[in-house]
C-alpha cells in the first residue's frame, strides 16, 4: 500500500538534504537529513540512496554539460596520481568512481601502506603539492584513525588519499550510501574506462 503524502514528504526532505550537501553546508548524509527534516518540520527520513539520487539530479540541473567534462578531467587526474603511487595498489573510490561527481566533489583514492610518510614522500618526489595530512575518525570501524593525505592536483582538484594497512587490501566493505560493495577502479581498469567509456557510471540497479 502506497502513502503518497509520506512519499512526497520523503522526497522533500531528500531534496533539501541534497541541497545542503551540494552547497557544502553539510558534509555527512546523516546531518544533512536531520537538518533538512528540521527545516521542513517533517518527521520523515529518506535513505542515503534517496538523498544521493536527488543530489545527482540537482547537480545535473545546475551544471549541465560542464559536469560531464569535469568528471573526465577528474578521472584523468586520478589516474595520474594513481600511476605515481602504483606500488601502493591505489583504488579510485567515491563519486569520481561512481560517475556522480559534482563541482564540489574531490577525488577519493585508497592506497595501502604501513607508513603514510612513505606515501607523502613519494608524492612530493613526483612533484605533487601535498596540502596536509591528518588522522580523522568517521565513526566507522574500518576508518577509525585512518591517515588521510590531501593534495592539490595539476588540474585544480583536491585529492584525498586514505591510507589503509596492507592487510585490508581486498577486504569487502559496503557503501553507506548505495548499500552495495565498494569495488572501485585500479589503475588498469580506470585507464580502460577512460579509453572506452569515460563517463561510465558504477551504480547499483
Contacts of 181 (CB under 8 A, 6+ apart): 172, 173, 174, 175
113-158 per-position pLDDT tens digit? 999 999 999 999 999 999 998 886 555 545 557 899 999 998 899 9
21-73 per-position pLDDT tens digit? 999 999 999 999 999 999 999 999 999 999 999 999 999 999 999 999 999 99
Q: What is the pLDDT of residue 144?
A: 56
43 close to 37: Cβ distance less than 8 angstroms:
yes
Give yes or no for residue 6 having a pLDDT over 90.
Answer: no
Domain boundaries, the chain: 4-63, 65-196
Q: Rounded mean pLDDT of the chain?
A: 93
Contacts of 87 (CB under 8 A, 6+ apart): 122
Homologous superfamily, domain 65-196: Beta Polymerase, domain 2 (3.30.460.10)
Which grid cell is 169? 587490501
Amino acid at each position: 500500500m502506497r502513502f503518497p503524502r509520506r512519499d512526497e514528504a520523503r522526497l522533500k526532505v531528500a531534496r533539501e538534504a541534497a541541497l545542503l550537501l551540494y552547497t557544502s553546508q553539510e558534509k555527512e548524509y546523516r546531518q544533512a537529513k536531520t537538518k533538512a527534516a528540521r527545516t521542513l518540520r517533517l518527521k520523515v527520513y529518506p535513505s542515503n540512496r534517496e538523498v544521493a539520487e536527488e543530489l545527482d539530479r540537482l547537480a545535473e540541473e545546475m551544471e549541465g554539460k560542464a559536469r560531464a567534462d569535469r568528471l573526465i578531467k577528474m578521472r584523468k587526474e586520478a589516474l595520474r596520481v594513481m600511476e605515481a603511487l602504483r606500488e601502493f595498489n591505489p583504488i579510485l573510490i567515491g563519486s569520481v568512481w561512481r560517475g556522480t561527481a559534482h563541482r564540489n566533489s574531490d577525488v577519493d583514492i585508497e592506497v595501502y601502506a604501513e607508513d603514510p610518510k612513505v606515501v607523502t614522500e613519494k608524492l612530493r618526489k613526483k612533484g605533487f603539492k601535498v596540502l596536509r595530512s591528518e588522522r580523522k575518525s568517521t565513526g566507522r570501524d574500518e576508518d577509525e584513525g585512518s591517515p588521510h593525505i590531501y593534495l592539490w592536483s595539476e588540474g585544480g582538484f583536491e585529492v584525498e588519499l586514505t591510507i589503509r594497512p596492507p592487510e585490508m587490501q581486498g577486504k569487502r566493505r559496503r557503501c553507506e550510501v548505495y548499500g552495495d560493495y565498494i569495488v572501485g577502479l585500479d589503475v588498469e581498469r580506470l585507464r580502460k574506462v577512460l579509453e572506452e567509456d569515460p563517463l561510465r557510471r558504477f551504480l547499483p540497479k
